[in-house]
């Protein structure tokens, strides 16, 4: 159903896409069918992430055909996270649903996801769970299971399928977090760190890719793991880096210092017979003390960076009175 520009749509569907020309008409037609059947006022925001095929002309055509379809086109391919970021910025619905463009996610899931966020349960975020998955078992499904287990234990968020493209959010959640780099894999973690606690999961249908090819290869697991370390680090120490580098630096420096003391004692005991530079302890002491000092210096530099960050005093206020 189309909505007047004066009204908020109740639902925004954000779709990042990169070279998916064949799937788009079918996808939009399906979304429209589902949303019309439920009388949702909705908008579909299609973010073309610098496609080199005909995707953009298809989006333009669809936005003529369906007034609820809006298109944003990047100058070049930036990645899925930047595409989601732009989609989130543009989204105006009370509930925001993200979905891949390749028809692997089914629009039939929309009503239930919508109800989980909007209804009594009132989830801040609901993540899809592709329990039965139609991707390559060896290169994707197995590593993904392992990867999700690591995610669960490191982040404490009990989701089976953190990186599922099909997710639903309260509007406030997507307006409070900032997806960047390749952090689309960790949106639930970003949401948790922003203070949104009601994170749920819904088993969703998954379908084999009908057209085109996957845009992510095996490097996703390496990059994903590195991003996981980054996100854990920045969430704990992002605003107080010295608490990390200082402690590390102090320990390393002190360890080196203990070796120095030991060496001095030995030197006093054995005098001229004691070949200082022949002893492993000498080198351990040297490297430890240099590394300790470097950790400290990194801490100071990081503090200077944080001090200059534009968002150093950015907090999400939930409520105020009077
Ligand atoms: N995508 C994108 N930019 C990119 C890579 C992918 O917008 O640089 C989109 C892609 O078009 C699809 C979604 O992200 O809509 C998920 O990509 P894909 O289906 O290739 O991932 P997979 O299903 O293999 O995990
Ligand atoms: Mg896909």
pLDDT in tens, 58-85: 999 999 999 999 999 999 999 999 999 9
Q: Give tens-digit pLDDT for 116-125.
A: 999 999 999 9
CB 197 within 8 A of CB 122: no
Q: Rounded to the nearest whole angstrom, what is the distance from the C-alpha of residue 284 to the centroid of ligand 2?
A: 50
- DSSP letters along 236-275, please? HHTT-THHHHHHHHHHHHHHHHHHHHHHHHHHHHHGGG--
Q: Rounded to the nearest whole angstrom, what is the distance from the C-alpha of residue 35 to the centroid of ligand 2?
A: 22
CB 93 within 8 A of CB 8: yes
Whether 3 shows a pLDDT value over 80: the answer reads no
Residue with CA at minimum distance from ligand 1 atom 13: 100
Whether 1 shows a pLDDT value over 70: the answer reads no
Q: Rounded to the nearest whole angstrom, what is the distance from the C-alpha of residue 21 to the centroid of ligand 2?
A: 14
- Cβ of 216 closer than 6 Å to ligand 1, yes or no, is yes
- Cβ of 214 closer than 6 Å to ligand 1, yes or no, is yes
Mean of pLDDT over the chain: 94
- Cβ of 49 closer than 6 Å to ligand 1, yes or no, is yes
**Which pLDDT does position 280 carry in this prediction?**
93
Write down the domain spans for the chain: 11-237, 242-307
Count Cβ neighbours within 10 Å for each residue of 89-127 and write b for 16 or more, e otherwise. eebbbbbbbbbbbbbbbbbebbeebbbbbbeeeebbbbb
- Cβ of 80 closer than 6 Å to ligand 1, yes or no, is yes
Q: Give tens-digit pLDDT for 129-181.
A: 999 999 888 888 898 999 999 999 999 999 999 999 999 999 999 999 999 99
- Cβ of 206 closer than 6 Å to ligand 1, yes or no, is no
Q: Rounded to the nearest whole angstrom, what is the distance from the C-alpha of residue 70 to the centroid of ligand 2?
A: 21
- Cβ of 101 closer than 6 Å to ligand 1, yes or no, is yes
- Cβ of 16 closer than 6 Å to ligand 1, yes or no, is yes
Query: For residue 163, which atom of ligand 1 is closest to its CA?
Result: 25
Overall fold of domain 11-237 = Spore Coat Polysaccharide Biosynthesis Protein SpsA; Chain A (3.90.550)
Q: How many CB atoms lie within 10 A of CB 147?
A: 18
Question: SS3 letters for 180-218?
Answer: CCCHHHHHHHHHHHCCCCCEEEEECCECCCCCCCCCCCC
- Sequence-distant (6+) residues with CB within 8 A of 42 are 1, 3, 9, 10, 11, 12, 13, 31, 35, 68, 93
Q: State how far the Cα of 153 lies from the Cα of 156, in Å rounded to an integer.
A: 5
Whether 21 shows a pLDDT value over 70: the answer reads yes
Q: Rounded to the nearest whole angstrom, what is the distance from the C-alpha of residue 262 to the centroid of ligand 2?
A: 60
């Amino acid at each position: 159903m189309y909505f007047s520009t004066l009204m908020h749509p109740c639902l925004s569907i954000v779709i990042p896409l990169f070279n998916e020309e064949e799937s788009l008409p079918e996808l939009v037609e399906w979304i429209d069918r589902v949303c019309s059947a439920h009388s949702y006022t909705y908008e579909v925001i299609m973010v073309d992430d610098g496609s080199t095929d005909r995707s953009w002309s298809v989006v333009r055509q669809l936005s003529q055909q369906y007034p609820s379809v809006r298109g944003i086109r990047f100058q070049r391919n930036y990645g899925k996270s930047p595409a989601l970021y732009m989609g989130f910025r543009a989204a105006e619905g009370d509930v925001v649903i993200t979905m891949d463009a390749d028809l692997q996610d089914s629009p039939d899931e929309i009503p239930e996801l919508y109800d989980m966020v909007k209804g009594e349960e009132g989830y801040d975020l609901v993540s899809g769970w592709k329990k039965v998955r139609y991707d390559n078992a060896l290169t994707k499904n197995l590593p993904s299971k392992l990867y999700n287990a690591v995610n669960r234990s490191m982040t404490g968020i009990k989701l089976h399928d953190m990186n599922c493209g099909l997710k639903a959010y309260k509007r406030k959640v997507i307006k409070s977090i900032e997806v960047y780099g390749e952090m689309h894999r960790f949106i639930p973690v970003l949401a948790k760190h922003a203070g949104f606690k009601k994170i749920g999961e819904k088993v969703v249908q998954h379908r084999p890719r009908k057209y085109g090819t996957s845009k992510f290869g095996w490097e996703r697991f390496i990059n994903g793991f590195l991003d996981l370390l980054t996100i854990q680090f920045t969430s704990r120490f992002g605003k107080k880096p010295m608490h990390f580098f200082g402690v590390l630096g102090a320990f390393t420096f002190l360890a080196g210092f203990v070796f120095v003391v030991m060496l001095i004692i030995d030197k006093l005991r054995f005098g001229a017979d004691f070949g200082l530079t022949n002893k492993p302890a000498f080198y351990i002491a040297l490297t430890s003390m240099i590394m300790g000092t470097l950790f400290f210096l990194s801490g100071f530099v990081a503090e200077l960076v944080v001090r200059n960050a534009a968002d150093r005093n950015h907090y999400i206020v939930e409520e105020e009175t009077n």
